């Protein structure tokens, strides 16, 4: 089935969704994006994604492409028109199109596009088996807190991980793990969850934020600090979070088995309480 996509105010069949070759997203990766999960035809954790979008836009000195109400309506319209039950909505805003010139163009209207993608989120087989990760160097820029469409480093990193039979690459900077190429990174030791604190070095995951809230409500301690690959190899459990994977157990890091190669009790509990909240929001 061909999707209906959104391009600058219009809903069109996906093969008719067109953006100029002069678009600054295309020429400079001059734009930001968000990915929001949809379960049971309902947006999951929508507001934090829009808060983060607001921050990303502000940081790159770009204004909202439309009102917040219109943006919400656009998300809901895409779900409706595509009869999306479970999957994601990808949306991106760029600084619009103009003659190629690094500095901001004057009076250019931003480009807003969005589309849906079907994906199984609740019944993810990887949640049962766990996934493998490999460590890779973090070669990204210094403002990873901005959800920029400039994703070449994560693309190369994910490909490198995939070629080694891994699901995700955990990036290393100054001997410490920053995050996954498209997810936040955690280990568990003696029942305590350890993850890096927020800074310009990582993206403030919306899943991370909701997980923190859920963990607090269920008495799971989270310690925000740096950790090394060696510490990760010796951890009892490890996991990742993202809007499209929720909470996913990791059973191998750089070929070393974690927790005997099986998802452990803390991550299983965290995934369960996370899914309970998702189901509650979706009403399923
Ligand atoms: N870090 C990076 C680098 C990411 O690309 C993502 C996914 N967008 C995340 C973390 C997780 O963020 P979220 O939970 O909001 O999907």
Assign 85 a pLDDT band (cuts: 50, 70, 90): very high
Mean pLDDT, range 119-144, rounded to an integer: 97
- Ligand 1 atom 5 nearest Cα: 182
Mean pLDDT, range 19-31, rounded to an integer: 98
CA–centroid distance, residue 189 to ligand 1 (Å): 23
Q: Which atom of ligand 1 is nearest to the CA of 48?
A: 15
- Ligand 1 atom 2 nearest Cα: 182
pLDDT of residue 277: 96
- Ligand 1 atom 7 nearest Cα: 182
Alpha-carbon distances, residue 270 vs 202, 207, 220, 235 (angstroms): 21, 12, 9, 16
CA–centroid distance, residue 184 to ligand 1 (Å): 6
- Ligand 1 atom 3 nearest Cα: 182
pLDDT of residue 217: 95
Mean pLDDT, range 241-258, rounded to an integer: 98
147 is catalytic: yes
Domain extents in the chain: 4-118, 126-282
Contact 174, 208 (CB under 8 A): no
Assign 108 a pLDDT band (cuts: 50, 70, 90): confident
Mean pLDDT, range 112-126, rounded to an integer: 97
Assign 107 a pLDDT band (cuts: 50, 70, 90): confident
Q: Which of 37-41, 107-111, 123-127, 206-210 has the lowest mean pLDDT?
A: 107-111
Q: State both tokens at 6.
A: 């959104």
pLDDT of residue 215: 96
Residues 6 or more apart from 108 whose CB is under 8 A from it? 24, 95, 96, 97, 98
Question: Which residues surround ligand 1 with Cβ inside 6 Å?
Answer: 35, 179, 182-184, 203, 205-208, 241-243
C-alpha 47/C-alpha 276 separation (Å) is 18
Q: Which residue among 49, 141, 183 has the greatest number of ligand 1 atoms within 8 angstroms of its CB, and so is best to mutate?
A: 183
User: Given a cut of 90, is residue 83 above it in pLDDT?
Assistant: yes
Q: Which atom of ligand 1 is nearest to the CA of 181?
A: 3
- Burial (CB count <10 Å: 0-12, 13-18, 19+), residue 226: middle
List 106, 147, 216, 269, catalytic entry: 147
User: Given a cut of 80, is residue 59 above it in pLDDT?
Assistant: yes
Mean pLDDT, range 39-49, rounded to an integer: 98
pLDDT of residue 214: 95
Question: Which CATH code fits 126-282?
Answer: 3.20.10.10
pLDDT of residue 159: 98
Q: Which CATH class is domain 4-118?
A: alpha beta
pLDDT of residue 234: 98
CA–centroid distance, residue 82 to ligand 1 (Å): 25
User: Given a cut of 80, is residue 99 above it in pLDDT?
Assistant: yes
Contact 260, 238 (CB under 8 A): no
Assign 60 to helix, strand or coil: coil
User: Given a cut of 90, is residue 1 above it in pLDDT?
Assistant: no
């Amino acid at each position: 089935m061909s999707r209906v996509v959104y391009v600058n105010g219009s809903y069109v069949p996906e093969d008719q969704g067109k953006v100029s070759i002069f678009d600054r997203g295309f020429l400079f990766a001059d734009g930001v994006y968000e990915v929001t999960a949809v379960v049971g035809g309902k947006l999951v954790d929508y507001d934090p994604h829009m808060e983060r979008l607001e921050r990303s836009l502000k940081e790159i000195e770009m204004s909202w492409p439309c009102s917040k109400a219109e943006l919400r309506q656009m998300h809901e319209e895409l779900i409706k028109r595509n009869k999306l039950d479970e999957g994601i909505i990808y949306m991106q805003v760029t600084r619009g199109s103009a003659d190629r010139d690094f500095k901001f163009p004057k009076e250019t209207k931003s480009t807003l596009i969005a589309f849906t993608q079907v994906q199984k989120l609740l019944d993810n087989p990887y949640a049962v088996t766990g996934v493998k990760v490999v460590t890779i160097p973090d070669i990204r820029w210094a403002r990873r807190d901005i959800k920029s469409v400039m994703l070449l480093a994560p693309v190369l990193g994910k490909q490198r991980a995939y070629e080694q039979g891994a699901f995700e690459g955990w990036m290393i900077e100054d001997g410490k793990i920053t995050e996954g190429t498209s997810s936040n990174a955690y280990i568990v030791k003696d029942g305590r969850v350890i993850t890096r604190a927020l800074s310009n070095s990582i993206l403030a995951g919306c899943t991370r934020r909701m997980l923190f809230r859920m963990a607090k409500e269920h008495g799971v301690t989270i310690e925000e600090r740096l950790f090394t690959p060696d510490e990760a190899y010796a951890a009892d459990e490890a996991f990742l979070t993202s809007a499209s994977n929720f909470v996913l157990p990791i059973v191998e890091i750089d070929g070393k088995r974690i927790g005997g190669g099986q998802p452990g009790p803390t991550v299983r509990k965290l995934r369960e309480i996370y899914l309970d909240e998702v189901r509650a929001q979706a009403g399923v």
